Structures are given as structure tokens and as C-alpha cells.
Amino acid sequence: MTTAAQPQAPTLELWPGKAYPLGATYDGYGTNFALFSEIAEKVELCLFDANGEQTECFTLPEVDGFVWHGFVPNIEPGQRYGYRVHGPYDPENGHRCNPNKLLVDPYSKAIDGSFEWNQSLFSYNFGDPDSRNDEDSAPHMPKSVVINPYFDWGVDRPPGHEYADTVIYEAHVKGLTQTHPDIPEQIRGTYAAVAHPAIIEHLTSLGVNAIELMPVHHFANDSTLVDKGLSNYWGYNTIGFFAPDFKYSANPNPGGQVQEFKAMVRALHEAGIEVILDVVYNHTAEGNHMGPTLSMRGIDNAAYYSLVDDDKRYYMDYTGTGNSLNVRHPHSLQLIMDSLRYWVTEMHVDGFRFDLASTLAREFYDVDRLATFFELVQQDPTVSQVKLIAEPWDVGPGGYQVGNFPPQWTEWNGKYRDTVRDFWRGEPATLDEFAYRLTGSADLYEHTARRPVASINFVIAHDGFTLRDLVSYNEKHNEANGEDNNDGESHNRSWNCGVEGPTDDPEVLALRSRQERNFLTTLLLSQGVPMICHGDELGRSQGGNNNGYCQDNEITWIDWSTADTELLEFTRTVAQLRAEHPVFRRRRFFSGKPLGRRGQDSLPDITWFTPEGAEMTGEDWGSGFAKSVGVYLNGHGIPDMDARGQRVVDDSFLLFFNAHYEPIEFTLPSEEFAKSWIPVISTAGEPGADPQPAGATVSVEARAVLVLKAETDAS
């Protein structure tokens, strides 16, 4: 058994320093180190060279308010360090200090190296969880890094897009860029690649003005995956809430990932693209009571983690990952808020998507809309002003909270995803709910005084089938994950269009293509904020794998060489229609009432039609077999004002949705709506250019959408 080496007497000076800010802070003369631990009896700061050899070890001389601190002159950016915390090792009472375990600073701004999984990273001996293991973990641990906080941002400023005008693109740094032929090989898969002109041009051509990056906080690869030759590709296993992961950096210097990340943000901002981070504050990579001691567990386990009240050896697990962060403790809450504020003020990001956000509302057991975390966000002058997106569920009791987050929050609308999928695969009795989802989900958000933009609409996200696979597979095919296809969601609301997986059948391929266009058209023309999952506009497939979390390879990377260029052009066309017409991105819910007394102002802002051209009745909505509907969007019925205080006026549109398996004849409404209509989008092929007079019938192909614009004198 190897215990921590006893270092020689320090050769550097150590001054008292300050208790704030937490973490390692370089000021041009030296570095201040500060670490919170309420349970610690002594805290050692250990310095390491480029070879991982410990060169110095100081006992931090001061403690104020449970913050241990010291200042070391002449410590410069690039210095690697870690902590050893002396204190009680008493798992039954929730304490797991062990100075033989080198610990990552929770406030590390950069982390260098990876975890080398072996016995030393655990505080117990394998096979005997009640024992204590005192092997030194330092040789197998990554090291925290002192960073250079200075960066030339130039004239960088946040794009500041209104939610209603935002189109979000969910992307993985590596998956998006790893095979792009126009990106130099040496930077593929990195922050620098995301900033490459080829990626920026692709995003802007789609009308995307916000990229939502899957986790870039430093994360650990699970040892169970490493043993299988796999890795935690998605990154939902955070160990550093301030540190951009070095695995996505082309800069080899310690701390260089910070500069590269900032350069990426600057480049995206120059193109008018906001940067939203997918953040995982609900748990950490330290797992349950059988997990490793990497950071917070060894610093102050009971302060940072929610423990079982009557047996503190065990962790409350609302996330399915082994532990949950303790949002009842002020220092744990401070860690989250400091991290959020840092990413906004120092890294210039524009918003956050909170993974399993319901966990952050569990102060005791139930989910509480008025939890302290939400109160802190509400009153914070920095964090409250950026985009805040909740994944409004977790795996704990009562965790599904779609529609229940506080007013300034938006939410991934899981009900939108499920309803739109069901409608287009022909499920009965979905028409009325489909109408709610298309118009911004007022049933979910209006009661909390929120607006349509509270709904982040999506059909596809990283977790589940890609769009191409949604229309190609009835069943998941996750054999490559090594769990006998038992992992991943089994109820996908997918439909393979008649054949499971790849096929040469032209009819099946045509139907799949039409279904993809149906989903993209519905998504981009719904009220709310659309989110496209990376590669769906290109026909990306994962071969039916709906749980690619561990596949860092061709299964999950976009294959740019096989891009479906026709689908890409179609997506661009629909996105452009949305961008040009505010009637598709209203800031307020429809009322069903007219705004005025004359002309189109005298018509309701929205009217629903049966295929026969009659206005929908309650009986029509309740018809379980109905799968087709038309909707009139009145461009003169928009109650929004522009930046000058002028009322917004737009063209009017008709949208015909046919989820039936046969073509349907739709009758155009009477002349009071418009004298004629111009087809502009058809998911079944070219829409045709000839105007159609009021009262005429138009045929909408089986499982297709037809969009028509009211003809005006200007048309």
C-alpha cells in the first residue's frame, strides 16, 4: 500500500491571502488559493510539475468562515495543483475525508489530464466497502490548473436575440466537427473547429442564431465504460463546473482550453450566434457510496451532496447517476451560482440549459417551484438576464414538471415532442393536443403569465433517435453499447414507414423523406422557440441507436460526406420563411378574437378549419379518428409591437396538415380571408406556383403539409 509521499519543506513563500474569491486567482504577481470545507481540520495545497511530480505542499495558513486560504507569490498561469483535506473519515455520519486522495478544486478554471481508474481513486478497498484505502491517488489524478484570466475580447458583445426570434441548434463539439472536410484535421472535434468559418456558415444558412453545446464542463469517463472500451461521449458526468474540458481543445498548453473556448465564443458572437451551455449541476462524477473520491466527496461530503437522512453512508439519487448535489447547503448553492456567473461574465456565454433541472428544486424531497435556487437566480442581476432553459424533469418522485417552472424560465417541452411524433405516425385522438403544441402550448404556460416562447419546441434531441432514425426504426438497436440492447428508451413514438432500418424500396424512402419534412416544417412553423438537433437537417443516422451516450465514433458523429443536400435545402427554405414572417414567431398567445373592425383586422387572429372548409367545432376536435386540419394565421392579428412601438403586421397564411394515409382535398376559406392563396411550402414536393382562388379545393398528399400565403397586391 502506497500512502501520500511526504514532501520536502516548501521552498516558496506562503502568505495569508484572502477567503474570496474561491478557487485559484492569479493577479499578475502570484496566485491566491481558497477552498471551502466546514469539516476540514487541515488543508494542504500541493503543486505539481508537468510530469505529475509533486514539488511543493503547503498547509493553508488561514481559515475564515470555513474557507481555507493562502497566497503564493510567483505562481503563474499553467501551474498544476490539487488539495489534500485532513478531517474525519466517518461514512456512517456522512464524512469521507482522506488526505491520501488528491482532490480537484471545485472552482478549477481548468483541469489538465484524465482520471486513470484504479484502486487508489477509491477510499475503500474493492470487495470490502466498509474498509479504508490509503493509497496515494495523485499519480492517477488530473490536476487543477491556474489560468491566465486575461483575454482580448475586442468589441465582443452578446447578440441578445429575443426568444421569439431565436432558432436553437443543439450540438456536440466533437460530433458536429469531427468529419467536416473543410476543417483542418488538427483542430477537428474542438472549440476551434466550432469557430471555423465552415461551421459558422452552415449555422447561419439555417437561420440558427443560438448554438446549445452539450456538456463542455470538465467531465470524467466512467470506469465501467472504460473497461468496455467505450467512453462517456455525451459528457453528463461533470467534475469541474468552471473548467472547459481539455478534451475539446486543440491548444496543448495547460489552461489553453480556456483561451480557445473564449475565442470560439468571440467568433460565434461576431456571426450573431449566441452560445448556450448544457450544464449538469444536479450531480457529479463521484457517483454513489461506491464511487471514487475525486473532489467534493473528500472536501466536505455532507455539505456538497444530499445524503439519506437516517443513514448518511448513502446518497439521495434523483438523477439515476448515484448522487444529487445538496441544494439546501449555502456553499453548494454558492458553487452553482458562482459557476453560472463566471460563465456569463468571464466566458461570455449567453445562456444555460439545465440538465434534469427538477433536481435543483428538491430542497427536501418534493419538487418546489419556490426553491432557494430559483430565488437566487431571480434576484441575481447577471444570471437572471441570460437565457435559462430547464429540462423540466428528473427520475425522482413527481419529477416531471413540464409547465411548472418559474416565469423567467423556458422549458424543453417534452409534451411537444411526444404529441408531434404521435400525430405524424397517425395515432388516434391527437388532433386537439397537436393544435395546442402548434400554437405555443398555452395550456402549459399561460397560467403562469408566460408566453409562447416559454416552450422550447423539439422533436429530436441528443437523447433518443435522430430524425432519420425516427422515421426508419420501430425498435431501438443499441447492441453496440454492450448492454444487450436493454439500455435506452423503448417507447420512442417512432414509425419505420413499413420497413425496419435501411431499405431500397422507393415508396418507403419517399414516405420517410416526406415524414422528415413534416417534422421539420411543423417544428419551424410552430409558435415558441424551435430547437434543431445537429445533423437532422442532413439526414444523420445512428443506425437505430437511441442511446449514443457512450459512442465516441462514427455512430454519433455527423458524416458530412453523406449529407442529404435536398433535405438541407428544404430546411433552409422553411427556416427562411419563419425568419421573414413574424406571424410564425408571435410573442403572445392567440386569443381567437379580432384586433379591429375592418378588413383582416375584423377576422380572428387564428381560425381552424376542417378539410371541407368549415370552422372546427367541439365535435370535430373530439373526433378520435380525425388526422387532418387546416389553420389560418392572421398576419393582421398580431398584437406585438416592434422596437419603434409600431404594431407588427404580416402576411396571412394557411397551413394544411394531413396525417392521414391517403390524400385529402382541402377547401380554401371564403374571400373574407383572402381572394386567393399562393402555395409556398409542400413537404410532398414542389408546392406549385399558381395562385388558388378562395373556395377552391387543393389536394394535400398523404402524410404531408401544405403552406399557402394569402395573395395581396404586393404579392
Look at residue 14 and tell me if it is in a domain: no
Return d(Cα 166, Cα 186) in angstroms, integer. Answer: 32
pLDDT of the residue at 10: 57
Nearest to 700 by CA among 713, 687, 710: 687
- H or E segment to which residue 436 belongs: helix 431-438
Q: Dump pLDDT digits (tens) for 42-64.
A: 999 999 999 999 999 999 999 99
DSSP 161: -
Q: Dump pLDDT digits (tens) for 661-713.
A: 999 999 999 999 999 999 999 999 998 878 999 999 999 999 999 999 999 75
Q: Dump pLDDT digits (tens) for 434-486.
A: 999 999 999 999 988 899 999 999 999 999 999 999 999 999 999 999 999 99
| Burial 373-394, CB ≥16 within 10 A → b, else e | bbebbeeeeebeebbbbbbbbb
355 is catalytic: yes
For the chain, how many structural domains are there in total? 2
597-606, 628-637, 704-713: range with lowest mean pLDDT:
597-606
Query: Which CATH number fits the domain that encloses residue 704?
Result: 2.60.40.1180
pLDDT of the residue at 6: 54
Q: Dump pLDDT digits (tens) for 312-342.
A: 999 999 989 999 999 989 999 999 999 999 9
Residue 7 in this model has a pLDDT that exceeds 60: no
pLDDT of the residue at 601: 80
Residue 257 in this model has a pLDDT that exceeds 90: yes
**Burial tier of 645 (Cβ tally within 10 Å: 0-12, 13-18, 19+):** exposed
Q: Scanning the structure block, which residue is given the C-alpha cell 404586393? A: 714
Inter-residue contact 675 to 713 (CB < 8 Å): no
pLDDT of the residue at 2: 54
Choosing from 212, 391, 432, 605, the catalytic residue is 391
Higher confidence at residue 644 or residue 27?
A: 27
Please name the amino acid found at residue 227. D
Return d(Cα 451, Cα 637) in angstroms, integer. Answer: 16
Residue 306 in this model has a pLDDT that exceeds 60: yes
* Residue 285, strand partner residues: none
DSSP 125: B
Q: Is the peptide bond before 77 cis (omega within 30 degrees of 0)?
A: no
pLDDT of the residue at 644: 85
Question: CA torsion 286→290→292→298, rounded to 10°?
Answer: 80
Look at residue 615 and tell me if it is in a domain: yes
Strand arrangement of the beta sheet that strand 42-48 belongs to: 54-59, 42-48, 80-86, 143-145, 111-112
Q: Dump pLDDT digits (tens) for 151-185.
A: 999 999 999 999 999 999 999 999 999 999 999 99
Look at residue 162 and tell me if it is in a domain: no
pLDDT of the residue at 367: 59
Confidence of residue 254 (pLDDT cuts 50, 70, 90): very high
Decide which of 103, 128, 146 is a domain's last residue: 146
Residue 611 in this model has a pLDDT that exceeds 70: yes
Query: Which CATH number fits the domain that encloses residue 41?
Result: 2.60.40.10
Decide which of 146, 163, 178 is a domain's last residue: 146
Please name the amino acid found at residue 427. E
CA dihedral sign, ordered 363, 369, 372, 374: positive
Confidence of residue 615 (pLDDT cuts 50, 70, 90): very high
Inter-residue contact 705 to 681 (CB < 8 Å): yes
Confidence of residue 3 (pLDDT cuts 50, 70, 90): low
pLDDT of the residue at 713: 54
Question: CA torsion 163→164→165→166, rounded to 10°?
Answer: 40
Domain span at residue 65 reads 23-146
Look at residue 430 and tell me if it is in a domain: no
Task: Provide, rounded to the nearest whole percent, the portion of the chain with pLDDT above 70.
Answer: 97
Return d(Cα 367, Cα 402) in angstroms, integer. Answer: 12
Return d(Cα 387, Cα 531) in angstroms, integer. Answer: 14
516 is catalytic: no
Look at residue 92 and tell me if it is in a domain: yes
pLDDT of the residue at 395: 75
Look at residue 345 and tell me if it is in a domain: no
| 3-class secondary-structure state, position 48 | strand
Residue 5 in this model has a pLDDT that exceeds 60: no
Alpha helix locations (H) across 229-277?
256-270
Look at residue 658 and tell me if it is in a domain: yes
Inter-residue contact 653 to 709 (CB < 8 Å): yes
Query: What is the mean pLDDT of the segment spanning 628-635?
Result: 98
Ramachandran assignment for 455, one of left (phi > 0), alpha (psi -120 to 50 degrees), beta (any other): beta
Inter-residue contact 222 to 237 (CB < 8 Å): yes
Confidence of residue 401 (pLDDT cuts 50, 70, 90): confident
**Burial tier of 272 (Cβ tally within 10 Å: 0-12, 13-18, 19+):** middle
Q: Dump pLDDT digits (tens) for 505-517.
A: 999 999 999 999 9
- Rg of the chain over CA atoms, in angstroms? 28
Nearest to 581 by CA among 545, 658, 646, 527: 527
Residue 363 in this model has a pLDDT that exceeds 80: no
Return d(Cα 87, Cα 96) in angstroms, integer. Answer: 8
Residue 1 in this model has a pLDDT that exceeds 60: no
Choosing from 222, 338, 355, 418, the catalytic residue is 355
339: how many CB neighbours lie within 10 A of its CB? 22
- What separation in angstroms does the CA of 598 have from each of 143, 604, 637, 695? 70, 12, 12, 21
Confidence of residue 641 (pLDDT cuts 50, 70, 90): confident
pLDDT of the residue at 116: 95
Decide which of 82, 116, 146 is a domain's last residue: 146
Confidence of residue 369 (pLDDT cuts 50, 70, 90): low
Look at residue 72 and tell me if it is in a domain: yes
Alpha helix locations (H) across 238-310?
256-270, 296-304
Inter-residue contact 62 to 34 (CB < 8 Å): no
- Phi and psi at residue 536, to the nearest 5°: -65, -30
Query: What is the mean pLDDT of the segment spanning 406-417?
Result: 94
Confidence of residue 650 (pLDDT cuts 50, 70, 90): very high
Q: Dump pLDDT digits (tens) for 529-584.
A: 999 999 999 999 999 999 999 999 999 999 999 999 999 999 999 999 999 999 99
Q: Dump pLDDT digits (tens) for 371-390.
A: 888 889 999 999 999 999 99
Mean residue pLDDT across the chain? 94
